[in-house]
Chain A
Amino acid sequence: MNEPRSARFAARAEKEVRRELLISPLPELGLVAVDGPNDPEPELVVEGGRIVRLDGVAEADFDVIDRFLVAHGLDLDVAAEAMAIPDAELARMLVDVHVTRGELVRLARGLTPAKLARVAALLDPVELMFALKKLRARREPRNQAHVTNLKENPALLAADAAEAARRGFAELETTVGVARYAPLNALALLVGSQTGRPGVMTQCAVEERRNLELAIRGLVTYAETLSVYGTEQVFADGDDTPWSKAFLGAAYASRGVKVRFTSGTGSEALMGHAQGFSMLYLEARCVSVVRAAGAQGVQNGSISCVALVLSVPGGTRAILAENVLAAWLDLEVASGNDAVASHSAIRKTAKLMGQFLPGTDFVTSGYSVMPRHDNTFGGGNYDADDLDEWLTIQRDWQVDAGIEPVAEDELLRVRERAARAVQAVFAELGLPPVTEREVEAATTGYDSADLPDRDRAADVEAADALLADGVSGVDVALALDRRGFADVAEAVFAMQRLRVAGDYLQTAAVIDPDGRVRSAVDDPNEYRGPGTGYRLEGERWRLLQSLPHVVDPATVGAAAAGAGGAGLLEERGPAAAGDDPTEVVVAVGPAFGSELVETINGLAHGDVLAAICEGIREEGASPRVVRVRRVADVAFVAHDAARLSGSSVGLGVQSKGTAVIHRADLEPLDNLELFGMSPLYSLESYRAMGRNAAGYALGRRVGPVPTELDNYARAKLIVRTTLLHAREARAVVPGAPAVELALAGAPAGTR
C-alpha cells in the first residue's frame, strides 16, 4: 500500500481499528453476512405427511442436517400456515407489540432455515434489538463470567469465582490449560462461586468424557461445549453428527447437567466449507438443529469467529440477527461478546450495544472477571479493567446487563473467604497445600503473576487421584463443613440437591441465592411494550446506580466550608467608586474566601488574590479588593469592579477561579479578556491577569494572556463547576452593594 500523503490519513492509519482487515464480500467462500447470492429460496414441500423438498433441496439430496431437521425440527401442523406468511409480514410481526412472543414462537416451529434467515435480514438494527427484547426467553437478563488464570492457581480461581458470583453473574465458566487440571479447576470454581453467592452455576469447558465425569461427581452444573455447524462437511470436521450431539445432550441431562449448545456465524467460512452460503443462513440451520436436538439453549452470536464476521459489510447486524433467530426458536441465548471483537474500544462497544440494550438471557457468554491476559479461553472482550465502564454504561442507559457494583471492602472479604475455603478443602481432601501467601495474593493481587508458583506436577497428580477416589460435590460440602465453612458447605450441598429435582434443566434456568430455580417456565419474558416486562426500577435500579465511587453532591466543596474561610477576608463597609486613575478594582464573587476557599484547580483563594494584586503592582498600578454580593456571574462581577474602579478597568474573579478583565464602558457581557479555563490556571496565570489588567488601566499596549485549551476539562469538571457555582449563587444577596475587603491582617483594599 502507498504511504498516505495526507497527515490525517497517516494518523488514522495508526489507529486501533486499522489493525483489522476489512474485506469486500466473497460469497463463494461464505464471506457474506446475510442474503448471499447462493442462499436458497425458502421452500417446504410436504407430500402425504412427508417433507420432500426443503429450502431448494429434494429429499434424495438431503444432507445430514436436512435429515435431522426433517426428523425433529419442523412441526408440520403449523408449517403450511407459517411458511405461507409473506416475509415482510413476519418481519413486522417480530416488532409488533400486539403479536405475542408465544404466537411468534408457535409460528417459528414451522419455519425453514432459509425463511428464518430471510425474515431476520429484513430487520434493521433497532428493529432487531426490539425483536430480541421481545423474544428473550427469561424475564430478566443475566450474565456469564469467565474465570481462569494462566497458573491455574486454585486460590485465585476461587477468589475470582467468588467475586464474579458476588457481582451477580448467574453462571461461571472455567477451562484448563492442562487437561488433567480439570477436577481441581472445577472444584475451585464450585467452592468460590458458592462462597460469593449461593446458587451460581458453574462449568468447566473440557473434552466431553472429562466433562461428563465432572458432572457426574457434581463438580459442575452446566455445559455449553456442544458445538454445531451449518454444513455437513464442517459438522463432520467437528467429528460429530446432529444425532451424536443430540445424544450427548440427553446424556448430560441424564446426569443433571444443564446443556447449552454453541454455534455462530463465520465458523463454516473459517473451516473452509461454507458451500457458498451466507453466514446468517448457515446459522439459521445451526439454531434449527439446536432446537431439533432438544437443547434448552444456545451460545451464539459468532462467539470465537466474531472478528471474521466483522470483516464483511453488515457483520455486526448479522450477529444480532442470529441472536434474534435463536430467541425466536424459543432457545435460551448466551449472546457472545466474549471473544475479542475489535482492537478498537469504540467499535467493540458499538457491537455490544446490540445485546446490551435489549438484554439477553446472558448478555455475554463470558465476561472476563480477571485481567484479559489471564483469560485462557483467548477471550476477554471485556475484562476486570473494564468493569467500571460496564457499570457506568448500565447506569447511563438505565439498563440491567447483569453486573452489580460492589464495594472494595466487601469484595476483599469475599475473595479472601473463598481462597480460605478452597485452602481448607485442599487440606481436608489431602491435596497439595494452598499457602497463606497464595491466599493473600489471591485476595489483593492484580493477576496470576502476583501469585507464587505451585508444584504443577504435584497438582496434576492430585487431580488424577481426586477423580480416582470418586470425590464428589457431597465430599466437598462435608470437607467445608468440617473446617467451619458451614454456610459454604450448605450452598455446595444445595447445588447437589438441586440435581435430584432437575428443575434447572428447563429453558433459561438460573438459581436464586435461596436455591429457588427460575426459568422461562415460571418466569417467562412477557414483554408487550412500554410498562410491561422486565424493567430496571426500584431496588435493583438503586443498586445499579450505586457505584462505589459515586459522590454525594452535598459533600463536594463542603469540606472546605468553614475551613479557615471566615478569617481570610475582612469586610470593611460599602465600597465607594474610586478616583485614582492608576487603580484596578479586583472584585471577588459572593462566596469567595468565605463559603468557598479554593478554586476548582485547588488554589487557595488567599493565594489567588495575592497573586492578582502582585501582578497589578508589578505593572505599576494599585489593586483595590471588593466583594460583589448582588450577583454571581463573572461578567457582572467584573463589570461592577470596572464601574467602581478609578481607572474604569476592573478584574472579576469567581470562587471557582473563572476571571474576566472588564472596562466600565463595555456592555456587561462583553469584556477585555475572559479566562474561562479555571482548571488549568496556576498562581502565575493569576499574576499575569493582574499585570494585564494593570496594563489596560494605565493605557499600555497589552497582549492577551496566553491561554491553553483542554477539551476534556468540561467532561472532567463540569459537575464540580456546577456544584461550586451553586454555592456561589446561594451566597448572592440581591441588591446588596459591593463591600470593601481586606486580606486578613492587611489594611483595607490591601493598598
Chain B
Amino acid sequence: MDNAPNRDYPLGERRPELVRTPAGTPLEELTLAAARDGSIARDELRATPETLRRQADVARAAGRVQLADNLERAAELTALPDGQLLEIYTALRPGRSTPADLERWARRLEAAGAARTAAFVREAAAVAGGAA
C-alpha cells in the first residue's frame, strides 16, 4: 500500500503550499487580517476539487476505499450550485423519479465533469427501474 499521501496529512499543516481556495489564494494568506482588509471574499473559504481529491488519496492510502470514493464524488460536486445539489438529492429519494429522470441527471452530471457521480446516479436508476 502506498502511504505517501498519509505523510502529507494533515495537508493544512504539512503541505500548506498544496492548498488554495477556489479563487487561488494560498492557505498561508488566509488570515483574519486579510479578511479585515477585504482581500478574501466572504464565500471563498471552501475546498477545491483538487484538495478533496488529495483527501480521497489520503483515505484510499489508509485503506478506506468507500470514503475515498465519497470524497471523489464530493470533489465533483464542488462545481455544482447549492440548489442543484438539493435537486439531485430530492430526485434520488424514493418515488421521486423515473429511471429516465435519473438518466437525465446523470447526463447533466457528466456534462459538468462529474463522471463518478453520474455513474452513481445511474446505479440508482437501475435499482429504481428494477424495483418498478
Contacts and interface: CB of A to CB of B under 8 A. Distances in A.
Interface of A: 64, 67-68, 71-73, 75, 102, 105-106, 109, 208-209, 212-213, 216, 218, 235-236, 239-241, 243-244, 246-256, 291-296, 330, 470, 472-475, 477-478, 481, 489-490, 493, 496-503, 505-507, 516-522
Contacts of A247: 73, 88-89, 92, 117, 120-121
Interface in B61-116: 62-71, 73-78, 80, 82, 85-86, 88-89, 92-95
Q: Is the interface of A mostly helix, strand, loop or mixed?
A: helix
Contacts, number: 200
A68 B77 CA distance: 21
Nearest to A109: B65
Contacts of A208: 86, 89
Contact of A251 (B71, B77, B93, B121): B77
Given A246-B120, A477-B35, A490-B32, 19 more contacts: A212-B86, A244-B92, A244-B124, A247-B88, A247-B89, A253-B52, A294-B70, A475-B42, A493-B31, A499-B45, A499-B46, A500-B12, A501-B47, A503-B55, A505-B71, A505-B74, A506-B55, A507-B62, A516-B10
A105 B51 CA distance: 27
A102 B62 CA distance: 10
16 contacts: A73-B66, A235-B94, A243-B121, A243-B124, A250-B73, A251-B74, A254-B47, A255-B46, A293-B70, A497-B12, A499-B46, A502-B51, A505-B74, A506-B55, A521-B9, A521-B62
Which one of B70, B78, B92 has the greatest number of beta carbons of chain A within 10 Å?
B70
Given A247-B120, A330-B63, A499-B45, A474 B74 contact: no
Which one of B62, B77, B95 has the greatest number of beta carbons of chain A within 10 Å?
B62
A263 B115 CA distance: 30
What 4 pairs between A and B have smallest CB-CB spacing?
A: A294-B70, A501-B12, A253-B74, A243-B124
A490 B54 CA distance: 26
A477 B32 contact: yes
B85 A249 contact: no
Nearest to B30: A497
Which one of A255, A330, A500, A507 has the greatest number of beta carbons of chain B within 10 Å?
A500
A236 B94 CA distance: 6
Nearest to B26: A500
A221 B12 CA distance: 16
For chain B, the bracket of interface size reads: 35 or more
A246 B12 contact: no
Contact of B32 (A218, A481, A502): A481
A490 B31 CA distance: 8
A294 B69 contact: yes
A218 to B, nearest CB: 6
A130 to B, nearest CB: 23
A64 B127 contact: yes
Contacts of A244: 89, 92-94, 124
Contacts of B27: 497, 500-501
A250 B70 contact: yes
A254 B78 contact: yes
A246 B40 contact: no
A497 B74 CA distance: 18
B131 interface: yes
A517 B12 contact: yes
B77 A250 contact: yes
B82 A213 contact: yes
Nearest to B14: A522
A170 to B, nearest CB: 16
A410 to B, nearest CB: 26
Given A247-B89, A478-B36, A490-B32, A521 B6 contact: yes
A251 B70 contact: no
Contacts of A521: 6, 9, 58-59, 62
A136 B19 CA distance: 30
B66 A105 contact: no
